[in-house]
Each structure stands twice: as C-alpha cells, then as structure tokens.
Amino acid sequence: MSKHQQVLLGIGGGIAAYKTPDLVRRLIEQDCEVISVLTNAGSKFVTSHTLAAVSGNRVRDNLWDEEAEQAMGHIELARWADLLLIAPATADLMAKMAQGKASDLLTTLHLACQSPVMVAPAMNQAMWHHPATQRNLTQLREDGVHVVGPEYGSQACGDIGPGRMSEPADIANAVANVLAVTNRLSGVNVLITAGPTREAIDPVRYISNSSSGRQGFALARAARDAGASVTLVSGPVGLETPTGVDRIDVVSSAQMKNAVMSHVSDCDIFFSVAAVSDYRPTVARSTKIKRQTENPEGRFHLELEETDDILKTVASLDRKPFVVGFAAETNNVLEYGREKRKSKGIDAIVINDVSDASIGFDSEENAVTIVHASGEQTLPKQNKLEIARQILSSVASLRNTNTEETAEAD
C-alpha cells in the first residue's frame, strides 16, 4: 500500500467500540492517517479523548459543530477519505446505511463519500440472524460495501454465535487489501463478456445454459471500483448494470463475437466470463416448428454447427490484450482447466467446479483457482463480488509483471 492513505473511521454504539483505539493504532501501523467519527451511541463506549490521543487527530462527533465544520466541512471530510471504515457497524447503522439515511454526521458522510466503504458488523447473534439485518447486509453488499466479519464466538450478552467484531489486526489488513486495489486499474480499459448466449432454433425456442451472469457483472463492478473504464458485453440476464459501466446487450454467440471484436482494439484486459454456446442450429427456422408435421415417428433431429470460439479468436490477435478465460468444469476440474489455458493460448484462466450447486452457475457464491504461466492461486468460497475483487488484484499484478517483462525484452 502506498504511504499515508487516509481512513475515516466511523464508530457505532456497540460494546466492540472499546477495541477501536487499538484499531486506530493498527491502521497507523499500516501507514494510514485516521480521523475518527463518533456517533452519539459510540461515545457511550469509547471517549473522544482516547481516540484523539491515539490518532493524533481531532475527533468529529457532530454535524452541527460550527468550529469543526469551519476547519473541515463534512463534505470535505468525506472527500478527504481514501476509505470510510465503520467499526463497529451496529444493526441500526447498517439499516440506516442500507436505506441511504443522512440523519447524523456519520450517515451523512457515508452518503457523501465516493471512496470505498467497509463495515465491520458487531451485534448480538439473534440480531445478526434477523431477516431485516440480513436484508440490509445484502443491500450493502449490492451497493459495493466491503464487509469484514463478524466472527463467531461468545458475546458480551452471554450468547454464543456470529456477531463479534473482527479483531483490529484483521480489519486493518482488510483495509490494506482494499486500498491496495483502489485506482490500481485507473486508465485501463477492461472488456468483459458475461451471461449465457441463446442460439435460435426457431422464433420461440433456443439453445442456452443456466449462467446467471453474476460473476461477470461482479467483475465489471470490481474493475470499475479499481478505476478501470469497463465495457460489458452481456447475454440475456436479469441483472442491473453497475453504474458507470458501458453495457452492450447481445443474444447469440455471433452477436457477442461482433461486439467483442469491435471493442477489443481499445482494450487492455479481456475477461471472457460468458458461458458461450459451443454449438448452434445449422439453420434457425423463421417460423415455429410444428410437432405433428415434423415429427411423425416421435423423433426430431436438430443439426448443430460449432460457434466461433471468441476467447481463442482474441488470444490469437497480433495486438492482443491481457487475456483471461473462465472454465466451468464438472469433473477433472483443475486438469481440464489447465489444459484449456494452454490450448486457447491465454494468459490466465479462472477455473470453477460447477458440479457443486453452491458455487455453480446460478449461485451467489463462488470458489475458484486462477492458473497462469507462473503458478496457481486458490480463492476459497465467498460471494462473487469478493471473488471478483481478488481475481482483479491477481490479474493486475500478473499484467504488470508481463508488461515489465515485455519492456525488458524490447
């Protein structure tokens, strides 16, 4: 992480707030400058004197503090932050953030802050399990908020379960990881394909697959967050376009190929996440196929032809981007994936096992192995946005190494 990143630390009203002076120290050890923002409830658990002493900065606790506002107004404070960290994030704070409330200084800063936001939830296990909290958590993740913890264990109230705030050292590491990718791809053009394709049989029938597009869309969002200009070529999916991403909708693999080929010359990194149909009907009928007339013996034959391999086509260009493929396998997962990287001539491949329904095509989570020329990296099961962030981080490093090696060879 580069020196002196600026972290705004919002402190909610939970018992875990007593750990925040230690958290401030850990962040300073990571070369961060910290300004603490205490909520009214937070001030019942930790004092502004302690936080000011450990951070070396005045603590902010009131939207209406004229003197503090004159020194640095709250919008300026939101702009100052390279990252807004909220720890502990109580159930109430998470609910307010999910609803976009601006009812006090911290929630106002949350809305005004354009830098990454991270929460470290802490609450009683029943409150954590409550559907309303889980709904808010999903919404925050959906909004791109990073979530660290909570941990499982014994709680101040005597319960045992999930809800303990993560340890300060773990939170500080998570902050360092996020800051390490922020702006890592600024000025970089990223082209992504996502979702399934549909190959028409007749006007109402097609060949397709159950790809949801989630992993490709998560990658688009993570690339945007890392500062890239992102073009997303998407097959038919029911997902919203991440703000700031250019989306091109296509249906068939031929349309997907055309869209990719007309954007690839400007692109620095190509992620081929789409589950492109390998075959299409030789002829797409212009009128609906009728059961009785075409099927006298109870059999129907459909002739298929191979579609173009978009990934391979991009990888064989003279001036090609850094090319990353995806391999969804059901058996011999790693072996097939490694072989696919070589046969397609690509820089890296992200392999996942779609025989496991919990990380399969239409699920929220994923677990993958990234294979490249100089090694392999396994990312354990987690939500697809987190997987996307880690894939991007690895690809950014691999691409830098590649670029340096090419420059040396020149």
Rg from Cα positions in the chain? 25
Name residues whose C-beta falls within 8 Å of residue 197's C-beta, 6 or more positions apart in sequence: 208, 235, 250, 251, 252, 253, 255, 256, 274, 275, 276, 277, 307
Q: Give the range of 113-121, 323-331, 361-369, 387-395 binding ligand CTP by CB under 6 A.
A: 323-331
Q: Which of 36, 107, 133, 307 binds ligand CTP (CB under 6 A)?
A: 307
Nearest to 224 by CA among 260, 189, 178, 274: 189
Could you say whether residue 327 binds ligand CTP (CB under 6 A)?
yes
- Establish if 148 lies at the interface with ligand CTP (CB under 6 A): no
Please choose, from the candidates 192, 258, 241, 256, the residue with its C-alpha nearest in 3D space to the C-alpha of residue 395: 192
Contact with ligand CTP (CB under 6 A) among 104, 225, 309, 353: 309
Q: Which stretch binds ligand CTP (CB under 6 A): 38-46, 137-145, 212-220, 322-330?
A: 322-330
Does 253 bind ligand CTP (CB under 6 A)? Our answer is: yes
Cα 309 from Cα 267, distance rounded (Å): 18
How far is the first Cα of the chain from the last one, in angstroms, to the nearest whole number? Answer: 29
With binding defined as CB under 6 A, does residue 272 bind ligand CTP?
A: yes
Query: What is the rounded CA–CA span in Å between residue 322 and residue 403?
Result: 10
Q: State which residue, 222 or 274, has the beta carbon closest to ligand CTP.
A: 274
Region of 298 please: left (phi>0), alpha (psi -120 to 50) or beta: left
Q: Which two tokens stand for residue 84?
A: 């807004």
State which residue, 140 or 346, has the beta carbon closest to ligand CTP.
Answer: 346
Considering only CA atoms, which of 106, 120, 42, 97 is closest in space to residue 78? 106
Residue from the set 16, 218, 311, 395 that interacts with ligand CTP by CB under 6 A = 311
Size of the site for ligand CTP (CB under 6 A): 15
Nearer to ligand CTP, 101 or 338 (CB): 338
376 counts as binding ligand CTP under rule CB under 6 A: no
Smallest distance, ligand CTP to C-beta of residue 331, A: 10
For the bound state, the minimum distance from the C-beta of residue 214 to ligand CTP, rounded and expressed in Å, comes to 15
Q: Which of 97, 147, 219, 310 binds ligand CTP (CB under 6 A)?
A: 310
> Binding of ligand CTP at residue 199 (CB under 6 A)?
no
Work out which of 12, 88, 325, 360 binds ligand CTP, going by CB under 6 A.
325
CB of 328 to ligand CTP, least distance (A): 5
d(CA 107, CA 115): 14
- Closest distance between ligand CTP and the C-beta of residue 211, in Å? 10
Note whether 215 binds ligand CTP by CB under 6 A: no
Is residue 326 part of the contact set for ligand CTP (CB under 6 A)?
A: yes
Candidates 328, 359, 379, 396; binder of ligand CTP (CB under 6 A) is 328
Q: Give the integer Cα–Cα distance in Å for 384 and 182.
A: 18
Q: Catalytic: which of 32, 113, 157, 267?
A: 157
Q: How far is CA 79 from CA 23, 146, 204, 280, 340, in A?
A: 22, 18, 52, 51, 45
**Region near ligand CTP per CB under 6 A, out of 79-87, 125-133, 305-313, 368-376:** 305-313
287: phi then psi, degrees, rounded to nearest 5:
-125, 160
Whether 157 is a known active-site residue: answer yes
CB within 8 Å of 277: residues ≥ 6 apart: 196, 197, 198, 199, 207, 208, 209, 252, 253, 307
- The interface with ligand CTP within residues 338-357 (CB under 6 A) comprises 340
Closest CB to ligand CTP among 139 and 394? Answer: 394
Considering the rule CB under 6 A, would residue 274 count as an interface residue with ligand CTP? yes
CB of 302 vs ligand CTP, minimal distance in Å? 18
**Which listed residue (218, 276, 391, 395) binds ligand CTP by CB under 6 A?**
276
- Residue 211 makes contact with ligand CTP by CB under 6 A: no
In the complex with ligand CTP, which residue's Cβ is closer, 182 or 193?
Answer: 193
Give the torsion sign (CA, 328, 333, 337, 340): negative
Binding site for ligand CTP (CB under 6 A): 193, 253, 272, 274, 276, 278, 307, 309-311, 325-328, 340
Supply the residues annotated as catalytic.
157
